[in-house]
Structure 1
Amino acid sequence: MQIAVVAQVIEINYDFQRGNLGWTADFADYPPNIGTGYELDAGIRFMPRKLTRMPRRGFYLQGHNRSADLFMFLKRRLAVEDGIVAGRNYRIEYVITLASNAASGCVGIGGAPGESVYLKAGASSIEPLAVLQSNGYLRMNVDKGNQSQSGTAASVAGNIANGIPCEQASPYYPFALIERFHQHTTNVTANANGELWLLVGTDSGFEGLTRLYYQSIRVKLIPV
């Protein structure tokens, strides 16, 4: 992890080759009491060797979207020691590099495995949590929008289609690296303790299995 603070602009590069670097994974928009049908999995794993010449690790997330609305996300707390100033407003920009095996132009149940899985990024002054509701579903306590719609805590940064045409990817559907540049659509104010939480995830309309390796997340926080 590299941190640079220039004129109160904070730039941080999280390269998951070095471990989780304070990021944690979680899942929302599903009922947790249904057993293992969602095939949820997350952690630091070696990425597919065909993507890299040398063994390289990334932050792996996996889920089977049986609820038609699964949200798989990473979050990280930033605080005073990272250069955050209490009460200050920040514009937040991301460069997200990840590996996806969702080919472009494929047809899937409920939606495309690439174009209907929306990558989102943003931030919040409170910790993003998956909270159990009275109907038995876990829902986010921050506004991340719904599928193709952005929210104040996470806005759409693209999708996970990897650029390989579906007919060329079949039948093996290899992973390919993709890079998404994103400026969060809502400025975020650090809380009174000088904290804010980064939030990156996927909001799925594809009712199948999604597997992703996040290689790195670069973030810039610009006072406004």
Structure 2
Amino acid sequence: MRKLRLSGIGIVLLVFSSCLKNEGTQQMITVYSDFSAGKDGWQAGFSEYSGENAEIYELEEGLAPLPAPLDGGVSAYRVSGMNRSDDLFMYLTKRVQGLKPGVRYHGRFTVRLASNAPTGGVGAGGAPGESVGIGVGLTADKPVSTPDEQHFYRMNIGKIQQCCTDGTDMVVIGDVANGTTDDIYTPIERTGGFSAETDHQGVLWLVVGTDSGFEGRTTLYYTSIEVVLEEI
């Protein structure tokens, strides 16, 4: 369950996956989503692919049991795609409201997922682990992937570029290498932060995603995402 707490007032409101705290004039919200309980408002999307032959990218998203050797009785948010474009972007995004309008917030992200990309692996175009960057970001605009005049899907936000380059709306916080020399699913954790200003309604969109330089299939299982948003 999500807890919404207003400090200094003896009221605790139970809502789904969030804790709100006002300390004096400074606001702080913790958003925690455990995907074993459902999507919790997160939406998946894909970008940097051709809409004219989208089927060759084999894009898939949705809740699924964790793969072996992990606990198959636990669900995660699975995203998968074949990187035919040498730059496939796969992302999750969630709307957060109740913030102060026109105010800048810093978000501290903790992303937990399972990856089968071995550390030091070799693949076409790049390593299956180190060439797939994972990034986090905040934006007042909903992240959306739409086709251009050539039917090629592109993001409306400044996303990360593969393993090493930050965007205007996201930063790279690591890669998907699993820390082992085996291509077995292993839990990994990545942390990092980003700052942005809310819109006139006090809304920010959270975004977590991977951008791939590995010309093969990447399939990831997100188990939880925690974001601490603090007014700055």
Q: Which structure shows the bigger proportion of residues in strand conformation?
A: 2
1:121 and 1:154 in contact (8 A); partners too: yes
**Does structure 1 conserve the Cα–Cα contact (< 8 Å) formed by 2:136 and 2:192?**
yes
Tell me how far 1:85 sits from its aligned partner. Answer: 1.3
Pick from 206, 209, 214: which aligns with 1:198? 206
User: 1:65·1:206 contact (CA, 8 Å) conserved in 2?
Assistant: yes
Which of 141-150 and 95-104 deviates more?
Answer: 141-150
Counterpart residue number, 1:30: 49
CA contact (8 A) 1:49 1:55 kept: no
SS of 2:136's equivalent in the other structure is strand
Deviations 1:129-180 (A, max 9, x none): 0021112211100111322211121110100000112xxx2xxx21000001
Q: Could you tell me how far 1:104 is from its partner in structure 2?
A: 0.5
Gaps of 5+ in 2: 3-16
Contact 2:109 2:136 in 1 (8 A): yes
The question of 1:222 aligning with 2:230 is answered yes
- Whole-Å Cα distance in 2 between the matches of residues 85 and 32 of structure 1? 38
TM-score (norm 1): 0.92
Alpha-carbon distance in structure 2 between the residues aligned to 1:120 and 1:61:
15
Please tell me the residue identity of whatever aligns with 1:220.
Answer: V
Tell me the amino acid that sits aligned with residue 24 of structure 1.
Q
Q: In structure 1, what is the equivalent of residue 139 of structure 2? A: 124
**Which letter does structure 1 place at the counterpart of 2:197?**
T
**1:58 equivalent in alignment to 2:76:** yes
Number of the residue aligned with 2:215: 207
Structure with the bigger RCO (C-alpha within 8 Å, sep 6+) is: 1
Once the two structures are TM-superposed, the CA of residue 50 in structure 1 deviates from its matched residue by 2.2
Q: For 1:67-216, list aligned pairs within 5 A.
A: 67-80=85-98, 84-147=99-162, 148-165=164-181, 169=182, 173-184=183-194, 187-216=195-224
Question: Does residue 15 of the first structure (1) align with residue 23 of the second (2)?
Answer: no
Between structure 1 and structure 2, the one with the greater Rg is 2
Instruction: Using the aligned pairs only, state the percent identity.
Output: 39
Maintained 8 Å contact 2:135/2:160: no
